[in-house]
Amino acid sequence: MHGRGGEDGTLQGMLELLGLPYTGSGVMASALSMDKLRSKLLWQGAGLPVAPWVALTRAEFEKGLSEEQKARISALGLPLIVKPSREGSSVGMTKVVEENALQGALSLAFQHDDEILIEKWLCGPEFTVAIVGEEILPSIRIQPAGTFYDYEAKYLSDETQYFCPAGLEASQEAALQSLVLQAWKALGCTGWGRIDVMLDSDGQFYLLEANTSPGMTSHSLVPMAARQAGMSFSQLVVRILELAD
């Protein structure tokens, strides 16, 4: 199950109350991973790289932004990415390339959550790295047909390309895997999942978000990485079940 109710700690809490084992992370790690703002705060506190951002609540938006908030947003520069804090699949997300488009992007994001993030746009390619138990699987480089990896690129477009191996140098792959493992452990995640990362024009990896219940069809990204690591789909499923609490 994906999204709200399925991977935000709600289902996990119910299963724990019923005494039923389940795959993936526990209640707290699932809730933190679904909450992009609190994930970023935790990662930042742990000294891990995240893109500069400004968080806004619905109440602040409806009241009208203060001059300080406007200045902080302006300092991020353009383009910007606006997203709900607790939503998945890039729902409610907008790339803002002109200042006069910001208001509409904020309104759209607030249709999906009471808390949103305005982030500095990162220019480089996006990567996702899967984790199964203590094993970090080979990274996947994502090349969307459009300007960024939005809902259409993820689920509707036939032009989005996925590269595994990702084409990184060995030292970059090692650095990426090390960063992902630190981010995973900082959130308290267990079992299996994915961490999404951007490589900016400065050559630095930046953490985007954690996914504690990724897709598991035969053509999904975790099985793709598992195949590159020599693990069949059936072997992957069995391994995930073995890790269940």
200 annotated binding-site participant: no
CA dist 197 → 51, 146, 209 (Å): 10, 18, 7
Give the torsion sign (CA, 102, 201, 42, 133). Answer: positive
pLDDT per residue as tens, the chain (245 positions): 666 656 888 999 999 999 999 999 999 999 999 999 999 999 999 999 999 999 999 999 999 999 999 999 999 999 999 999 998 766 789 999 999 999 999 999 999 999 999 999 998 899 999 999 999 999 999 988 766 655 555 555 567 899 999 999 999 999 999 999 999 999 999 999 999 999 998 899 999 999 999 988 877 899 999 999 999 999 999 999 999 87
pLDDT number for residue 87: 83
List the chain domain ranges: 10-50+123-242, 53-120
211 marked ligand binding residue: yes
User: Of 112, 127, 195, which Cα lies nearest the Cα of 166?
Assistant: 127
CA–CA gap between residue 73 and residue 43 (Å, rounded): 21
CATH of domain 53-120: 3.30.1490.20
Which pTM value belongs to this model?
Answer: 0.90
Cα–Cα distances in Å, from 158 out to 144, 203, 231? 10, 29, 26
CATH class of 10-50+123-242: alpha beta
The CA-atom distances, in angstroms, between 68 and each of 40, 73, 109 are 21, 9, 21
Give the tens place of pLDDT for each residue, 141-154.
998 876 665 555 55
Q: What is the pLDDT of residue 157?
A: 54
Read off the tokens for 93: 């997300």
- The Cα angle at residue 198 between residues 193 and 199, in degrees rounded to 5: 135
60 is in an annotated binding site: no
Q: What is the pLDDT of residue 7?
A: 80
Rg for the chain, CA atoms, rounded: 18
Would you state the pLDDT for residue 144? 80
Residue 17 neighbours by CB under 8 Å, 6+ apart = none
3-state helix, strand, coil in the chain (%, to 5): 40, 20, 40
